[in-house]
Amino acid sequence: MSKTISINAGSSTLKFQLFEMPSEEVIAKGVIERIGLKDSLVDIKYGDGQRLQETIQASNHEIAINYLLDQLLKLSIISDFSEITGVGHRVVAGGEYFKDSVVIDDDVMKKIDELADYAPLHNPAHLTGIKAFKKILPDITSVAVFDTSFHQTMPEKNYLYSIPYEWYEKYGARKYGAHGTSHRYVANRAAEMLGKPLEELKLVTLHLGAGASITAVMNGKSYDTSMGFTPLAGITMATRSGDVDASLVAWLEDKLEISSEEMIDILNHKSGLIGLSGVSADMRDLEKVMDENHRAKMARDIWINRVVRYVGQYVAEMNGADAIVFTAGVGENDIEIRQAIADGLSFFGVKIDPEKNNIRGEERDLTAAGSTTKALLIPTNEELMIARDVERFK
């Protein structure tokens, strides 16, 4: 038995899970938030219900990782670093370099750095984490697992934009997608629940969180996905706009007298649910006030509309679907949202049982009697998917 640690570094967060492998037993898991800000928040769960919550000063990801590794020893989660034989790092942007997970060497790190323009808030943080682990644990198996690699199977007709082809050839201007590790995990789990080979199924996986994306999975591969060159494209999200007419963007830049950089920041951080509602980026907050606040209800309705629109598009593209799969924060926990989405897809034979749907955060087949398309609730587990990929290279 050996231990593998999965590292999921966001722009200001560090999530981890430590697994006993190959049994996949979770030994410890947690998160460090507000990295780079004053008073970073630590939450680590381990042992038999034990928990560490405290505030630290982590000005960067290297400090956060060093702190985490020290705590694994101090809390007696491990007795020595030699117990950890593998580490897997989630990396958002792999471009066209990486069609699968890879063992990390100097060339891989160089390419992750080159791709920072594709994910400027994430790839630099991932690279910092990779270097920090290599400094402390230089000899363990170190693997990069890319959000984009699952989507490298998309056909040209789905990943190319209708712009001059030379821009793709010279600059890699195309759709890359994101959340691939999550979509891959729930697609595989859906096949297990349905008792059929993944290669024989048509699925639409709905990763519905603050960041949200929808993927058409056909014959075991990503066929199309809603996020684009960056995670800004696709459906309405918590603070991201999703799809917007490019001409409108240019027109507004002129009207507002702002730069492209300022506009991209607004579309990423001040749009979506928060921009529409003026209330909150959190769906739960909108639902509390939507009966008396028109904009809150409007924002929620638009969010549901965009989800239904994309699912319908993908069902049409694949000429049918065996199941739709709900996952991530909203998808796993919002009973009313799942019902509303299913109601909007009844034409495609989607119908969920209200009694089965009365659940949060637990795996379940939600399908109602008479439905021709299955509806599944599957909590995502990107960290487990990362750990499994590390095992492939040990």
DSSP 184-202: HHHHHHHHHHHTS-GGG-E
> Residue 54 annotated as binding?
no
The candidate with the shortest Cα–Cα distance to 198, out of 159, 148, 146, 150, is: 150
> Residue 370 annotated as binding?
no
CB 390 within 8 A of CB 88: yes
> Residue 306 annotated as binding?
no
- Can you tell me which residue has the tokens 């323009």? 117
With a CB cutoff of 8 Å and minimum separation 6, the contacts of 190 are: 198, 201, 203, 205, 323, 325, 376, 378
> Residue 377 annotated as binding?
no
CB 208 within 8 A of CB 221: no
Give me Rg for the CA atoms of the chain: 21
With a CB cutoff of 8 Å and minimum separation 6, the contacts of 105 are: none
> Residue 15 annotated as binding?
yes
> Residue 119 annotated as binding?
no
**Burial (CB count <10 Å: 0-12, 13-18, 19+), residue 134:** middle
> Residue 51 annotated as binding?
no
> Residue 311 annotated as binding?
no
The span from the CA of 353 to the CA of 344, in Å, is 15
Q: Is 147 a catalytic residue?
A: yes
Q: Which ranges of the chain does DSSP label H, i.e. alpha helix? A: 61-74, 106-114, 123-136, 156-159, 165-171, 180-194, 246-256, 260-269, 272-277, 283-289, 294-318, 328-333, 335-344, 382-393
> Residue 90 annotated as binding?
yes
> Residue 207 annotated as binding?
yes
> Residue 243 annotated as binding?
no
With a CB cutoff of 8 Å and minimum separation 6, the contacts of 41 are: 32, 33, 34, 53, 55
**One of 48, 147, 353, 365 is an active-site residue; which one?**
147
Enumerate the known binding-site residues for ATP: 15, 207-211, 282-284, 329-333
Enumerate the known binding-site residues for Mg(2+): 8, 382
Q: Which residues are catalytic?
A: 147
Enumerate the known binding-site residues: 8, 15, 90, 207-211, 282-284, 329-333, 382
Enumerate the known binding-site residues for substrate: 90
